[in-house]
Structure 1
Amino acid sequence: MDAAAAPRPQDEPDAAGVPPAPPEPPLATLERTALEVERHVATDGWGAPPRVFALVRTAQALAADAALAAHLPPEVLAEAEADPEHLTSVEQDELPEGSLEEVLAQIGWPPAVAGAALAVERVVVPPDVDLPEDPAAALAVVDAHPDRHEVRIAVAVLREEGPGTTGTVVRRREDDDDLRVVVGEDLVPGLAAALRATFA
C-alpha cells in the first residue's frame, strides 16, 4: 500500500490561505498497517488497555466471503483489487488481565490469518537510565524520572519473518499529532518478536 492520494504542492495554500500539511512519504505495507491501527486506536484517547488485531489478506477474505464487501469502504475495495497483499485489520476481544508477554503467549491464530497487530501504551525513559532489577523499584525510577515519556506503540507483523514483514509506529503523548508520529520497520524489536511468537 502506498500513501494516500498525493497532496497539493507545499507552496499552494488552500482557500483560507493555510498551507497544506506536509505529504506523508510512501510507506511499506506493514508500516502503513501499523499506522492505520495506531490512528484507529488513537480515536479513543489515552489510557486504553492493549488491543490486538488479526491481519488478513483483503482479497483472500473477499474471495472467501463476498458479503464482506458491503462492510468495507470503497477505497479499501479499490486498494485490495489493485494490491493482492493489501491487509485488513480485525480487532479481537479485549485481552485478559496479566502481563502482556504471558497473555500474548496464550494467543494462537488460524491459517487464514496472515499477521497480527498490537497497540499498547508504555512509559519510557532514555536508554542510558540504569534501572533496578526489581520490577517495583524499576517502576518507581521510571515514574520519577524527569525525562519519562508516555508513548503509544503499534506493531504489525506478518506470520513469516524477513524484510518488510514488520511495521512500527510510536506516538508520544506530548506530541499527540498524526503528523508527529514516528514510523519505521522494526523500532521495538522485543514487542515485534513477542507478537510474531503468537504464530509459533
Structure 2
Amino acid sequence: MVTMTSPAETAPTPRLLALRDAVREIERHAADRGWDGEVTASVFALVRTTDALSATPDLAGELPETALAEAASDPEHLTSIEQDGLPEATTLEELLAQLAWPEQVDGAAVVVERLMVPPEAEQGLPQDPEEAMAALMAHPDRTDVRLAAGVLRTGESWCAVRSRSHDTDDEVAGSPEAVPGLVEALRATFR
C-alpha cells in the first residue's frame, strides 16, 4: 500500500483526507460489482455532505447512518453521486471533455478498468485494432487494474489503484497523482 506522505511532506489537510476516503469508497463500490463489468467507466459528482443535507434535508433518509455520523463530525465529508445519462463518447477522455459541473458540486471522480502491459508488448502489434487487442489480452505479462481518481474544485486530487492479481481492499494503492492524466482530465471538467 502506498502511504499518503513522506516525512518531508506536510500532513494531509482534512479536505484531502475526505477526498481520499470518498475515492476509496467509490473504488470499493466498483470492486463490489466485480471485474469486467458492462459499464466501461463510472462518473461521480462529489458534494460536501453537510451542504447537501442543508440544501435537501430529505437526503438524510437516503444516506447510510455511518455517512451521517461521519458528516456530523467532519464538515469536509463527501457524498458521491453516481451520474446516469452521460453523453455518448467513444473514449473516457472524450466523455470527460463533455462534462461540466454546477457550483454545488465540490468535486468529481471516475472509476475505470484498464489493461496494462510492459512497453515492449506494444512492439510489433497487428495493425488491425481488434487483432492488436486480442494480442494484448493474451500477453503473459498483462495486468488488469481498476483506477479510481477524484479531484476537488479547489485542486486536491486522490487516486486509488487495484490490481486484479491483488484483489483485496488492503492492497489498493493510493496517492494524489498516481494517474496524472486522469487527474488532469477530471480537473478540466471544472474549468
Do Structure 1 and Structure 2 share a fold, with TM-score over 0.5?
A: yes
Q: Structure 1: which amino acid aligns with 2:102?
A: P
Deviation at 1:131, TM superposition (A): 3.7
Q: Structure 2: which amino acid aligns with 1:104?
A: L
Q: Structure 1: which amino acid aligns with 2:177?
A: D
User: Residue 30 of structure 2 contacts residue 111 of structure 2 at CA under 8 Å; is this kept in 1?
Assistant: yes
Q: Which residue of 1 aligns with 2:32?
A: 43
Match of 2:148 among 143, 154, 157: 154
Q: Which residue of 1 aligns with 2:64?
A: 73
User: Residue 131 of structure 1 contacts residue 141 of structure 1 at CA under 8 Å; is this kept in 2?
Assistant: no
User: Residue 33 of structure 1 contacts residue 167 of structure 1 at CA under 8 Å; is this kept in 2?
Assistant: no
Q: Which runs of 5+ in 2 are unaligned?
A: 1-15
2:136 and 2:20 mapped to 1: Cα distance? 29
Structure 2 SS opposite 1:77: helix
> TM-score, normalization: structure 1?
0.77
Match of 1:110 among 95, 102, 105: 102
User: Aligned runs of 1:12-161 on 2, under 5 Å?
Assistant: 28-48=17-37, 49-93=40-84, 95=86, 96-126=88-118, 128-129=119-120, 131=122, 136=129, 139=133, 142-161=136-155
The answer to whether residue 184 in structure 2 is matched with residue 193 in structure 1 is: yes
| Equivalences, count | 170
Q: Which has the higher helix share?
A: 2
Deviation at 1:182, TM superposition (A): 1.1
- Percent of aligned positions with the same letter in both sequences? 49
Deviation at 1:139, TM superposition (A): 4.2
1:129–1:31 Cα change, 3 Å: farther
1:94–1:44 Cα change, 3 Å: farther
Q: Structure 2: which amino acid aligns with 1:74?
A: E
Please list the CA deviations of residues 27-80 of structure 1 after superposition, one character each: whole Å capped at 9, or x if unmatched.
822221111001011111111220000000100001111111111122211211
1:80 and 1:109 mapped to 2: Cα distance? 22
Structure 1 SS opposite 2:178: coil
Structure 1 SS opposite 2:146: strand
Structure 2 SS opposite 1:51: strand
> TM-score, normalization: structure 2?
0.80
Deviation at 1:97, TM superposition (A): 4.0
Q: Structure 2: which amino acid aligns with 1:93?
A: D
Q: Which runs of 5+ in 1 are unaligned?
A: 1-26
1:131–1:116 Cα change, 3 Å: same
Root-mean-square deviation (CA, aligned residues, Å) is: 2.2
Q: Which structure's relative contact order is higher, taking Cα pairs within 8 Å and 6+ residues apart?
A: 2
1:149 and 1:64 mapped to 2: Cα distance? 43
